[in-house]
Chain A
Amino acid sequence: MDSRKTDTALLLIRLILGLVFLAHGAQKVFGLFGGHGLQATVQFMTKSGMPVLIPYLVSFGELAAGIGFIFGFLTRIAAAGMFLEMLGGVFLIHWKNGFFMNWEGNQKGEGFEYTLTLCVICLALLISGAGAYSIDASMRRRALP
């Protein structure tokens, strides 16, 4: 396996994952891109029975992890956090709607396929780390004697 190709692939995978979590985090925290903002997100998620800590963790976590993935900074921590969040998303939120997205409009809500996809990709990044094109790697290089 050519390591330059692997590092490029890891960079691409980090970029799309980072874009997704940054966009959703910015919706939840700042109300950008048609999102509800932090107050409404907290209200909505506590109303559905979650402890008040969860919406804060989820909102800021998605924002921070998104930025972390893009720059490859604290990548494994970001991946672990988003892996857990997406695991929760699959089982607590989307499981009841089945596997598939609700793109034909005949389900009660979205199924878990996309959430599961993100969950599995985060697990892979948790195992692999960020690759060479990352702040993590450049910090490790500088730390070497």
Chain B
Amino acid sequence: MSSRYSNLALLVIRLAPGIVFFMHGAQKTLGWFGGHGLQGTVQGMTKMGMPQIVPYLVSLGELAAGLGLIVGLLTRIAAAGMFVEMLGAVLIVHLKSGFFAEHRGFEYPLTLCLVCFGILLMGPGAYSLDARMRRGRF
């Protein structure tokens, strides 16, 4: 695999979870795109029995990680965070609904989970702010 191809593939694959987490983070944190906003999200998730820190971590984490994955900034930290969150989503929220997404199953969060783990392993590639900063061209 030539490295130009692999860097392009890394840029493309960062965009998949990047866009998804940005959209969901903006719903949860800012109330954009028909979301509930931070207050509503905190209420909803604490009502489900989660400690209050979790909805804050999840909401701000998704927004920040989404942006980070898109531009390739602190990519591995973003990927690690979303890997852990999606693992929680699979095991705590979606596992009881089976596999298929149409029944709220775990296939979609599991896909995001493993892609984030893949990005955690590979890093952001050359087309990223992380790589620019490492080269000192920022």
- Flag if B12 contacts A99 (CB, 8 Å): no
B107→A121 contact, CB < 8 A: no
Give the secondary structure class of A's interface: helix
Give the residue name and chain of the B residue nearest to A23 (CB): B99
Counting CB contacts under 8 A, is A127 at the interface?
A: yes
Q: Are A113 and B20 neighbours in the complex by a CB distance under 8 Å?
A: yes
Interface size of A by CB at 8 A reads: 37
Distance between B4 CB and nearest chain A CB, rounded to angstroms: 10
Interface centre among A16, A27, A116, A131 (most CB of B within 10 A): A16
Residue A52 is within 8 A (CB to CB) of chain B in the complex: no
Query: A5 to B10, alpha carbons, bound, how many Å?
Result: 13
Q: How far is the CA of A103 from the CA of B94 in the complex (A)?
A: 11
Count of chain A to chain B residue pairs whose CB atoms are closer than 8 Å in the complex: 97
Beta-carbon contacts of B18-30 to A below 8 Å, as 1s and 0s?
Answer: 0110011001000
Closest-by-CB residue of A relative to B4 is: A127
Chain B proximity of A102: nearest CB distance (Å): 9
Q: A13-B118, A124-B13 are in contact. List 14 more A-B contacts (CB 8 A).
A: A1-B125, A6-B6, A13-B114, A20-B107, A20-B111, A23-B107, A101-B108, A110-B102, A114-B108, A117-B111, A120-B19, A128-B1, A128-B6, A129-B5
Q: List 23 A-B contacts (CB under 8 A).
A: A1-B122, A6-B121, A9-B121, A10-B118, A12-B114, A12-B117, A13-B118, A15-B114, A27-B100, A33-B99, A34-B100, A99-B23, A100-B34, A101-B101, A113-B20, A117-B20, A117-B108, A117-B111, A117-B112, A117-B115, A121-B13, A125-B9, A127-B5
